[in-house]
Amino acid sequence: MDWALPPNYSTFGVVIDQLFWIILVITGIAFLLVEGGILWFCIKYRGREGARAHYTHGSNKVEIIWTVIPAIIIAILGVYSAAVWQDIKGASNRPADALEFLVVGKQFEWNITYPGMDRTLGTADDFTVLNQFHFPVNEDITILLESEDVIHSFFIPELRVKQDAVPGMTIPVWFDATQTGNFEIACAELCGLGHYYMMASVTVHSAADFDAWQASRATETAQ
Amino acid sequence: MATIVAEATGQAILHEEHEQSFLRKYIFSTDHKVIAIQFLIYTLFFLMIGGLLAMLMRYQIAWPARGELPLGGIFPETMVASGYILPEFYNALVTMHGSVMVFLAIMPMLVGVWANYLIPLQLGTHDMAFPRLNMLSFWAMVPAGILTLASFFVLGGAAGAGWTLYAPLSARPDLTGVGLGQILWLVALVFIGLSSILGSVNYITTTINMRAPGMTWMRMPLTIWSLFITAILALLAMPVLSAAGIMLIFDQTIGTSFFLPEGGGQPLLWQHLFWFFGHPEVYILILPAMGFTSEILSVGSRKPVFGYKAMVLALVSIAFLGFIVWGHHMFQSGMNPTLGLAFTVSTLFIAVPSAIKTFNWMGTMWRGNLQLHSAMLFAIGFVAMFAIGGLSGVFMASTPVDIYIHDTYFIVAHIHYVLFGGSLFALFGAIYFWYPKMFGRLMNETMGKIHFWLTFVFFNLVFFPMHGVGMVGMMRRIYDSTGYAHLQGIEDTNALITWAAFGLFASGFLFAFNFFWSLKKGKKAGANPWNATTLEWQTPSPPKHGNWEEVPVVYHGPHEYSHPDVEDKDWLAQNERPDVVSPAAGSH
Ligand code: HEM
Ligand SMILES: [Cu+2]
Ligand SMILES: [Cu+2]
């Protein structure tokens, strides 16, 4: 049994995982207090013949305490989450000279259009490959995410990336992988009867390998 | 037709039972108690159907390559072929499991059953303000149920786009093969909306206008408060769903494109409309459960509800905030990320009233004299399980973490801790608790306790590990996870979950047996088997048509247990002993 987040290979993943563990600790403590309290009360105050309960309608003081403390904890978490979110997704933080790819989801495949050797989309040396996503390590990557038919969701667990692909929209998604390796794109949004096999392979190359791969692909498609 | 005249004027209709035909008394009844029992039978039936669909799903998830579905031969070839559940049938199962549970089981059981049964009885009135609308609100559910069941057998099968019905998938039969099935479900939804709107109008009017003398707002039981607020939510939210559903039918059938980009529509518009309804809906699915829990905990602890006023305030603020958090379902949808920020803030704030309520329930148990009968066990179980669902919600409300866990089994775990561990536990508690009032006999306690422990253990074995497979990254609504590299190694957990799910489903039959067995064999209850204070217990079980011989007059708050000035017993009914002074609920 293996109940853990998969290893993280992206820059953003570090903060996401950190936040996950922080919340796990905070909610873990709350969990123990609440469940422990309930259990303890069940044992300590279980009904006895002739016993009489303590008559009270409550106390404003404790109401205030247990309103304010969770509110503070939650406010701090909220501010911190918002800051991290803004860092990851905020439009102003979109990397300026990222390497761009076009990714189009369609029942039940991912079409990836590569910028080619000139590193620019929309030029003659672009080429499209089905269900194979190759890109270089340690470099800002931006994909322009589209869908041809229904909503799909672009999910690479190890890179902590997930974004819905919506027909009629072009949604930019950026990330930066920190290690080379082989992963998968999964589709995370129900998109029809082939939803479960809508996957593509992901290969993160070193910069030199990526150039070599693109060059070989480009000549292949040109022929 | 004296009855009709009397009802139309909203007058008491005591002692007229002898004149009613069987049909008027049990089938087309306008008596709120009979309507409640009709809703109860209806919703228990659909709870079983919803459970059955889940069993089929779980079989597939645990053993996708095995085939050999037990009794697979009874299904048509379009659903199960040589022992294998087909992917299109799986999508119908996922969709209809969620839809049936939410709209045909839990929601009408929370509201249709208990708002009908309890509002007139706990407020001390003879019936609802509009008894015939009330009857209509049940009968509108009947075509909805029939259409839903029928949709499995039409060409293309039942709806398969998820209970959230995301367009364009839900609007394009050419992309799914599901045409008529989707339309039938949408039409069913329109009937459900009608039923819910008619019911809500009734509950709101009755609560505002028909309280017994002395039943001030702050003397209303928390059950009534929660049902009242729920009715307001339903009245505001359901029309949005109905309208959106009709727009979706148009997109699918007559070529409009509200949600289809080819014609200039917007797929995200559907999500905004759906969740504008959908988030209040999840509070519709939990607020009444919170009300029952408060009530049962107070009776079972022999103590007033701790912090009654804070409980009311929390209910009201949840209802209000519930309308401005819908976007938290759409963080990864392509909605503007800055908008996401606003929804994070409102969402985190809605966690505060939920925390307040949890602490007040614990406060109610504190220094009590706890009577751990089946109803009480389920109410305590509610608090314990709802807390877990609330805490897992914090992960999702934190937008960066949600990037990873959205659309995984982590969400499925969360849904079920709130809706099953929450709503359904409270509903089981409510049934054990009010059954004696409904039928004059108690349900069997031994069976009830066994049912609780089986449910509690199996429930946690099913749904706690789902957090784990969600962390590993298993996507929800997926027919077969074994093809993914990152999902290797969770097969054992999935098999465990499935075995526990079978156990959970099976323990439901113990409850069903107890329910029917006790109708005839249960211990006679008398008017007030729990020594409870609220008005419904101060009239015979079951109450006669018209509820009261004489309209009760209320002198006390709803939960006066262990009052120091009452020595001979540990409870003080709302309508007795005007000489005893009880503090206004919530003051100290
Ligand atoms: C017998 C116990 C139950 C089991 C084993 C069970 C199991 C499941 C499973 C396997 C899914 C599909 C997960 C996915 O692939 O996304 C699901 C979804 C769902 N369940 Fe349950 N469930 C049970 C009871 C309930 C109850 C009582 C409710 C009450 C409302 C409920 C509400 C839902 C909802 C709303 C969904 C989401 C459906 C969707 O995503 O379209 N379930 N359940
Ligand atoms: Cu998909
Ligand atoms: Cu929500």
Q: How many residues does chain A have?
A: 223
CB atoms within 10 A of CB B216: 12
Give the number of whichever ligand sits closest to the CA of residue A150. Answer: 2
Please check whether residues B310 and B334 belong to one and the same domain: yes
pLDDT at B346 over 70: yes
Task: Quote the percentage of chain B above a pLDDT of 70.
Answer: 96
H or E stretch covering A155: strand A152-156
- Using an 8 Å Cβ cutoff, are B426 and B293 in contact? yes
Q: What is the pLDDT of residues B242-262, one digit of tens each?
A: 999 999 999 999 989 999 998
What is the C-alpha R_g of chain B? Answer: 24
- Using an 8 Å Cβ cutoff, are B289 and B222 in contact? no
Q: Which residues contact A223 (CB under 8 A, 6 or more apart)?
A: none
Domain extent at residue B182: 1-283
| Dist CA B452 CA B410 (whole Å) | 25
Alpha carbon of A180: minimum distance to chain B alpha carbons (Å): 16
| Dist CA B112 CA B102 (whole Å) | 13
Contact A190 B484 (CB under 8 A): no
Structure tokens at B213: 């003398």
Cα of B395 vs its chain's centroid, Å: 24
**Residue range B391-415: mean pLDDT, rounded:** 95
Nearest residue of chain A to residue B314 (CA atoms):
A67
A74-98 core/surface letters (b: 16 or more CB in 10 A; e: else): beebbeebbebbbebbeeeeeeeeb
SS3 state at B544: coil
| B401 close to A (CB below 8 A) | yes
Please check whether residues B355 and B490 belong to one and the same domain: yes
| B328 close to A (CB below 8 A) | no
| Dist CA B141 CA B35 (whole Å) | 12
What is the C-alpha R_g of chain A? Answer: 25
| Dist CA B501 CA B474 (whole Å) | 18
Q: pLDDT confidence of B72, banded at 50, 70, 90?
A: confident
pLDDT reported for residue B21? 77
Say if B24 falls within a structural domain: yes
* Last residue in a domain, options B501, B523, B545: B523
| Dist CA B95 CA B107 (whole Å) | 17
| B205 close to A (CB below 8 A) | no
B142-169 core/surface letters (b: 16 or more CB in 10 A; e: else): ebbbebbbebbeeebbbbbbbbbbbbbb
Q: Residue type for A173, please?
A: V
Contact A81 B172 (CB under 8 A): no
Please check whether residues B241 and B331 belong to one and the same domain: no
| Dist CA B540 CA B524 (whole Å) | 12
**Mind spelling out the 3-state secondary structure of B147-209?**
HHHHHCCCCCCCCCCCCCCCCCHHHCHHHHCCCHHHHHHHHHHHHHHHHHHHHHHHHHHHHHH
pTM, entire model:
0.93
Of A38, A84, A160, the CB nearest to B362: A38
Structure tokens at B141: 């559910």
**Residue range B331-344: mean pLDDT, rounded:** 86
B51 lines ligand 1 (CB under 6 A): yes
Q: What is the pLDDT of residues B455-472, one digit of tens each?
A: 999 999 999 999 999 999
| Dist. CA B473 → ligand 3 center (Å) | 21
Q: Strands B80-81 and A109-114, how do they pair?
A: unpaired
Integer angstrom CA distances of residue B149 from A60, A99, B97, B104, B376 = 51, 52, 12, 11, 35
Structure tokens at B582: 């009880």
pLDDT reported for residue B336? 86
> How confident is the prediction for chain A on average, in pLDDT?
93
Alpha carbon of B493: minimum distance to chain A alpha carbons (Å): 7
Please check whether residues B576 and B587 belong to one and the same domain: yes
SS3 state at B571: strand
B169 lines ligand 1 (CB under 6 A): no
pLDDT reported for residue A222? 59
Helix crossing, A60-89 with A11-44: angle to 10°? 160
Q: Whose CA is nearest to atom 2 of ligand 1?
A: B51
| Dist CA A196 CA B359 (whole Å) | 42
| Dist CA A25 CA A20 (whole Å) | 9
Please check whether residues B218 and B321 belong to one and the same domain: no
| Dist. CA A191 → ligand 2 center (Å) | 4
Q: Which atom of ligand 1 is nearest to the CA of B162?
A: 41
Counting DSSP H helices and E strands in chain A, the numbers are 3, 10
**Residue range A107-130: mean pLDDT, rounded:** 93
Alpha carbon of A96: minimum distance to chain B alpha carbons (Å): 18
Please check whether residues B420 and B555 belong to one and the same domain: no
Q: Which atom of ligand 1 is nearest to the CA of B163?
A: 41
| A144 close to B (CB below 8 A) | no
- What is the count of structural domains for chain B? 3
| Dist CA A92 CA A81 (whole Å) | 17
- Using an 8 Å Cβ cutoff, are B390 and B355 in contact? yes
pLDDT reported for residue B13? 44
H or E stretch covering B310: helix B308-321
Alpha carbon of A219: minimum distance to chain B alpha carbons (Å): 31
Domain ranges of chain A: 11-91, 99-222
Pure H helices in chain A: 11-44, 60-89, 207-222
Mutate to test the interface with B, among A14, A42, A193 (most CBs of B within 10 A): A193
Out of A62-76, A123-137, B329-343, pick the least confident: B329-343
CA-closest candidate to residue A77, choices B401, B77, B324, B258: B401
Q: Which residues on chain B are in Cβ contact (under 8 Å) with A83?
A: none
Please check whether residues B513 and B552 belong to one and the same domain: no
pLDDT reported for residue A91? 85
Q: What is the pLDDT of residues A150-163, one digit of tens each?
A: 999 999 999 999 99
Question: Complex ipTM, two decimals?
Answer: 0.96
* Last residue in a domain, options B523, B544, B559: B523
Please check whether residues B307 and B403 belong to one and the same domain: yes
C-alpha dihedral (B31, B36, B39, B40), degrees to nearest 10: -140
| Dist CA B140 CA B46 (whole Å) | 15
| Dist. CA B353 → ligand 3 center (Å) | 15
| Dist CA A93 CA B210 (whole Å) | 58
Structure tokens at B198: 């008619």
B501 lines ligand 1 (CB under 6 A): yes
Bridge partners (DSSP) of residue B81 are B84
| Dist CA A162 CA A143 (whole Å) | 12
Cis check for the bond before B542: say yes or no (omega within 30 of 0).
yes
- The sign of the dihedral angle between the CA atoms of B316, B321, B322, B323 is positive
Give the number of whichever ligand sits closest to the CA of residue B46. Answer: 1
Mutate to test the interface with B, among A8, A196, A198, A203 (most CBs of B within 10 A): A196
Counting DSSP H helices and E strands in chain B, the numbers are 21, 2
* Last residue in a domain, options B215, B250, B283: B283
pLDDT at B151 over 70: yes
Contact A168 B261 (CB under 8 A): yes
Please check whether residues B233 and B200 belong to one and the same domain: yes
Contact B588 A86 (CB under 8 A): no
B residues 561..580 contacting A (CB < 8 A): 561-564, 570
Q: Strands B84-85 and B80-81, how do they pair?
A: antiparallel
| B440 close to A (CB below 8 A) | no
Please choose from B411, B412, B459, B461 the residue to mutate so as to test ligand 1's pocket, defined by most ligand atoms within 8 A of CB: B412
| Dist CA B585 CA B588 (whole Å) | 8
CA-closest candidate to residue B449, choices B345, B359, B356, B376: B376
| Dist CA B283 CA B214 (whole Å) | 30
| Dist. CA B94 → ligand 1 center (Å) | 7
- Using an 8 Å Cβ cutoff, are B571 and B561 in contact? yes
Q: What is the pLDDT of residues B3-42, one digit of tens each?
A: 333 343 344 444 444 567 777 777 888 899 999 999 999 9
Highest mean pLDDT out of B319-323, B354-358, B580-584: B354-358
| Dist CA B162 CA B248 (whole Å) | 14
Say if B265 falls within a structural domain: yes
Say if B202 falls within a structural domain: yes
- Using an 8 Å Cβ cutoff, are B230 and B106 in contact? no
| A98 close to B (CB below 8 A) | no
Please check whether residues B544 and B506 belong to one and the same domain: no
- Using an 8 Å Cβ cutoff, are A133 and A143 in contact? no
| Dist CA B412 CA B396 (whole Å) | 12
Helix crossing, B287-301 with B222-253: angle to 10°? 160
Please check whether residues B231 and B345 belong to one and the same domain: no
Torsion angles phi and psi, residue B192, rounded to 5: -65, -40
| B588 close to A (CB below 8 A) | yes
> How confident is the prediction for chain B on average, in pLDDT?
92
Residue B370: DSSP 8-state:
B
Task: Quote the percentage of chain A above a pLDDT of 70.
Answer: 98
**Residue range A64-89: mean pLDDT, rounded:** 92
Bridge partners (DSSP) of residue A127 are A114
Say if B528 falls within a structural domain: no
Structure tokens at B431: 């049934």
| A6 close to B (CB below 8 A) | yes
H or E stretch covering A146: strand A141-147
Please check whether residues B242 and B331 belong to one and the same domain: no
Alpha carbon of B287: minimum distance to chain A alpha carbons (Å): 19
Give the number of whichever ligand sits closest to the CA of residue B282. Answer: 3
According to CATH, the topology of domain A99-222 is Immunoglobulin-like (2.60.40)
SS3 state at B226: helix
CATH top-level class for A11-91? mainly alpha
Q: pLDDT confidence of A49, banded at 50, 70, 90?
A: confident
- Using an 8 Å Cβ cutoff, are B240 and B190 in contact? no
List the CATH number of the domain containing B470: 1.20.210.10
As to burial, measured by CB atoms within 10 angstroms (0-12 exposed, 13-18 middle, 19+ buried), residue B232 is middle
Bridge partners (DSSP) of residue A155 are A162, A186
Contact B355 A70 (CB under 8 A): yes
